[in-house]
Amino acid sequence: MKKDLLLGIDVGTSACKVAVFDADGGVIAAENESYAVYYPQPGWVEQDADEWWEAICRAIRRITVNPEIAGRIAGIGIDGQSWSAIPVDSEGKALSRTPIWMDTRARDIAARVRRQIGEEAIFSVAGNGFEPAYTTPKLLWFREERPEIYKKCAKFLQSNSYIALRLTGVFSQDLSQSYGIHFFDQKKLAYDTALAAEMGLSPELLCEPVACHEIIGSVTAEAAARTGLTAGTPVAAGGLDAACGTLGAGVCRPGQTQEQGGQAGGMSICTDQALAHPKLILSTHVIPGLWLLQGGSVGGGGVLRWFKQELGKAGESFDDLTRLAEDIPAGSEGVLFLPYMAGERSPIWNPDAKAVFYGLSFDKTRAHMVRAALESVAFSLEHNLRTAAETGAEVTEMISVGGASNSRLWTQIKADVTGKKIIVPSSDTATTLGAAILAGVGTGLFGSFEEAVQRTVHFTREHTPDPAAHAVYQKRMEDYLQLYACLEPYYIKSGRLEQ
């Protein structure tokens, strides 16, 4: 049987997504499966890696019930959410739930390390700020707060490497996910053992980073029995979801920029050098020789999801909500929303920040609130783009991916706020496609990343900024920034009270 298909697995925050693609990027089959997020204490946000695996097995099973698909899969690529810290023993068993990217339990540890070692010393190696949501502070938290787990731990894994382990039995760490580890040198692409020692950690807790498209192993007989995959199918190391989504959007040259409209928001600017900003996020791209200067915000599609769940009407869809917002002019007639639903990441890095509606009055409606929520995500994107411009990073074109990109209104708002043209791929499976491309390059199905993008990524529409709306939004952007500045002292005070 001809091996001409690729399987992409996406370990998301609210669900896993699996999709099988042909060599031209066409979706042959796709399945989703949700799982739980746990909030055991204030600031704690956890998931169970074994629940990821079980969900992925169920989703793949629904695809491989067709034996012709399973037999044609040439390779498997995996992407995953960032900043996990999954402790596993020598047999690969997860020893506890993992704190995920929204978790800020290690805030006191992060503050202490910044004081002891110095933010500049850490930033000079990592190219990233020492914030509690990253992997490194979580490693220190396990060492200090869960020493019994820390002692049993053979390796700490990331989301995609844990699924790769369950598929292949091989421990791994890819380059793109290494940005969450602050003793990983972003320029040398290697662990800095001196900085690790100063932090009281050892690189031996982690696997040696490998290229994201490297084939690390193949599907074991046990994994084949669980998933219906063919034993011996090659598995690539995989990478960061944002980086795979960037690749799947067609970003393979400096200046191209992916705009992320998933559960969280953000952007990834492709560069050919390690441009770092203390308020942004720097990682390697999943393409060798390239980096991504990223802005990652908590507010994304999750903002509208929360609004629908808590303030929506029975039977009301996302499309119904955005249609409401169409009748409200740019600027929401004075209503502003700060989308800090779980604190905020870049560029303010404030775990105590809270979401706020401002400007409500008796003449305002739910439609105003929906419009303000949509605009707030665009404002957070613009905030990150403005910060990135301080490094000299150039944005030549923006490509929008994720569920939010399906909304013409929301995408147009983002174009109007940023003043940049946004193009949208014909498929909203960019992240799983990017993971699949890694397997395609790793197995030789594609001769290069450029060839893979040319064959698989197709565009369906573009949004050109409206000059009048852009002028309105530039003024509202200043109000957005000022509102946060005014509330910041209160956020700090309330954060202390919650501890």
The per-residue pLDDT for 299 is 86
What is the pLDDT at residue 467? 98
411 lies in a domain?
no
Q: What is the pLDDT along the chain (499 residues), one digit of tens a residue?
A: 799 999 999 999 999 999 999 999 999 999 999 999 999 999 999 999 999 999 999 999 999 999 999 999 999 999 999 999 999 999 999 999 999 999 999 999 999 999 999 999 999 999 999 999 999 999 999 999 999 999 999 999 999 999 999 999 999 999 999 999 999 999 999 999 999 999 999 999 999 999 999 999 999 999 999 999 999 999 999 999 989 999 999 999 999 999 988 788 889 999 999 999 999 999 999 999 999 999 989 888 999 999 999 999 999 999 999 999 999 999 999 999 999 998 998 999 898 999 999 999 999 999 999 999 999 999 999 999 999 999 999 999 999 998 899 999 999 999 999 999 999 998 878 999 999 999 999 999 999 999 999 999 999 999 999 999 999 999 999 999 999 999 999 997 676 555 5
Number of domains in the chain: 1
Q: Which of 35, 6, 2, 3 is nearest to 18 (CA)?
A: 6
pLDDT of residue 495: 65
Give a yes or no: residue 92 inside a domain.
yes
Is 326 inside any structural domain?
no
Question: What does the pLDDT read at residue 483?
Answer: 98
Contacts 24+ apart (CB under 8 A), 322-325: 322/370, 322/374, 322/407, 322/409, 322/410, 324/366, 324/367, 324/370, 324/371, 325/367, 325/370, 325/371, 325/374, 325/409
Q: Does 389 reside within a domain? A: no
Cβ atoms 83, 12 nearer than 8 A: no
**40 belongs to a structural domain:** yes
pLDDT of residue 361: 98
Q: What is the pTM of this model?
A: 0.89
397: tokens are 């074109």
Specify the DSSP class assigned to residue 465.
P
C-alpha gyration radius of the chain: 22
Residue span of the structural domain in which 105 resides: 5-241
Q: Give domain status of residue 385, yes or no.
A: no
Tell whether 459 is covered by a domain.
no
CATH code of the domain covering residue 196 = 3.30.420.40
Q: Is residue 310 part of a domain?
A: no
